[in-house]
Structure 1
């Protein structure tokens, strides 16, 4: 088993009358970014906390490289985690905060400047924590998580507080870490960003696994199919030209029509044959948000 493989098997957490996580099983592979997705209350944070030995499971196991987090010989060099925005002494600078963390973990002080540079906080290293924005605190938390140069990185909503430039920076950082062979598990509500960032996704709802696999495999498996968006001054004539086949035509806003059942070349050929002028002919593929909503719709967050 790879040192960086995460294996969740039959994981369950019962809080009195609420089962926050229910017999959950999935794997996260090294060298890939895995998005951990679910509605509010789905059990994502509880799962991550059980993985990091912060919450005791009612049943099941969660291992990293075949070991429970509690049994890792040197956890800071194996796993870096950020479950919430970094907290630190308000009067301490960002650099000094990281120096304290490094010293307590027996890490060389040279790593502090390395990770500050990596997360883009070098210019703010001497500023006190109380003056940090939420986005800067997120970066500081990631810097602390990377101090031990870990094989595995686990992040819960890491883009909170980041502006568009910061989100792009985060994407490049995590993709780079995965490309270097690290295991990256990211919980996020930013589905459009996850579609760009993640190689694989794990979707849960009501504490149970709903779907897992590569982003493309999960999206291709859904009933939500591609459709063709068309704008033409003669919708009736085009609709007649497509009648009798597999095409389904639905009206849209601002004179647009949506055609499903056939692809864009077929629509274009029908329009040409009928002498219909097309102002727009675009294939619209389902996005991750649509797939996510279809998979989780009607699944209660708390039972």
Structure 2
């Protein structure tokens, strides 16, 4: 019987970065709270400074911790078992993100299919309709509020459609970049990944322009009732995830320029591509349920 070969499981040395990250998150939480409170009362001050300090500390932690990880990987310290642990960790992380967006989509579906018809008098709630909002009309998008504020819904044509096409194309270019890496075609890898980053930046730029258009021309804000809230929460959080995904791709691009990754060892790139495909799928669902239906 052939003797089974065992690999050592690398255990990194003690690191200061977890406590630095905890301090950063604490400062961000306190700073964000103070920043919100100072808009209500002048007695709360310094929120912007504390929040900026927390974000700077978080950036230092990420750069330092990722540098240690990259150095360990490039030194050949990681085993196959650790690689499987990383894959399981990334899979669970993406699953948690799926649940995060599921909560917001659930809120959207609840408002559209339960709350709005209920306020309109459905399911024998005519008395509730007369008491809470007598002039209410059960429709979606809900473009009016009880105080008489009205807004205009964001249509699916134009910028939303362009951004959908951009993200779908970027998913294709990201896939081609992955294939090029597996074939060890470095020039094509750089070209396709660079195109993916540019498309991600273009998406973010158009989304900023869309928000300006919503506020300035449509009167669509966070104060526009449940429609405005769900619209900006879903699109805004997705924009944050696209920003994070673009930053990840930029880091991968710099590592590729430094000669990192091989066809046999490139999990960091694979994890980044998984995340990018995830945000693309979320946007397609968002485009359908927020903009079209």
Q: What TM-score do the two structures reach when normalised by structure 2?
A: 0.25
Higher relative contact order (CA 8 A, sep 6+): 1
In proportion to residue count, which structure has more strand? Answer: 1
